[in-house]
Amino acid sequence: MTSQSPVLETRELTINFGGHYAVNRVSCAFHPGTLTSIVGPNGAGKTTWFNLISGQLKASAGSVLLFGEDITRLPAPARADKGLGRAFQLTNLFPNLTVLENVRLAVAARHRTGYNFWQMVSRRRDIIDHAMQYLEQVQLGKRADSLAAGLPHGDQRKLEVAMLLALEPEVFMFDEPTAGMSVDEVPVILELIAEIKRRQDKVILLVEHKMDVVRSLSDRIVVLHNGELVADGEPAEVIASPVVQEAYLGTPQQAAG
């Protein structure tokens, strides 16, 4: 594809849950400015692969490289610091904090203010304003003061996305960002992802079950099946390939996880 060196790479990445290989020797490299969709049936290992990349799980074998540096042994916070941003498939918020505070924590993480124990949070207007901008982007500005736990499901999904945007990472990892959203909310999120893609300098990984979304957004599609990478290439080509027709499109397409 591009001649640039990859931003992110997994080499023979493997995890073994008591004999069951949820991710099995997956090697793949990602270049800036590309959006790669990861597809595969339920239980294929997509989320697990994400967890190995962003550090929520430790690999049994193989390695993860970010900008050429081996980060396989680093814990999740260190990887986030280095630019791996993650939005979760199962909504994963700070339930009893306000919507704004959820996003503000993400902005503050990027500014590395966490160890400041003397300044009042309210004195950092810049951070709060930033957080507010991300909320506006996902159209949650009006709900800024509600508790995250009180949001309807679709809005929680949007908040999840806003928190990832607020991290301004080098690698965006979206795990079924639109699952459970109503039809009129989906385009908002897809447009935000397309917007990141237009900036041309980030890596975007998208796990998605909706094939029309995958087809229209992706530069590349990677197919996982039983923890193994079974196809990788241009969208049209991959979707047409027999292995996908059989392994993926043959199974029910809609899943919540």
Positions that interact with ligand ATP (CB under 6 A): 17, 22, 40, 42-48, 89, 255, 257
Task: Assess 47 for contact with other proteins (CB under 8 A).
Answer: no
Q: Where are the alpha helices (DSSP H) in 97-230?
A: 99-111, 125-137, 153-167, 186-198, 211-217
How far is it, in rounded angstroms, from Cα 31 to Cα 129? 32
Closest to 106 (Cα-Cα) out of 85, 136, 79, 75: 85
Please state the closest distance from residue 238 (CB atom) to ligand ATP, in A. 17
Comparing CB distances to ligand ATP, the nearer of 49 and 172 is 49
How far is it, in rounded angstroms, from Cα 98 to Cα 146? 5
Angle 93-98-104 from CA coordinates, rounded to 5°: 75
Comparing CB distances to other proteins, the nearer of 103 and 221 is 103
**Contact with other proteins (CB under 8 A): which of 18, 19, 68, 114?**
114
Q: Is the dihedral of CA 191, 197, 198, 202 positive or negative?
A: positive
How far is it, in rounded angstroms, from Cα 158 to Cα 50? 19
- Stretch 115-144 residues interacting with other proteins (CB under 8 A): 115-122, 124
Task: Assess 113 for contact with other proteins (CB under 8 A).
Answer: yes
Decide which of other proteins, ligand ATP, Mg ion, none touches 17; Cβ closer than 5 to 8 Å per partner kind: ligand ATP
Comparing CB distances to ligand ATP, the nearer of 17 and 77 is 17
Both tokens of 152, joined, read 């309807």
Please state the closest distance from residue 42 (CB atom) to ligand ATP, in A. 4
- Stretch 162-191 residues interacting with other proteins (CB under 8 A): 163, 167
Comparing CB distances to Mg ion, the nearer of 155 and 175 is 175
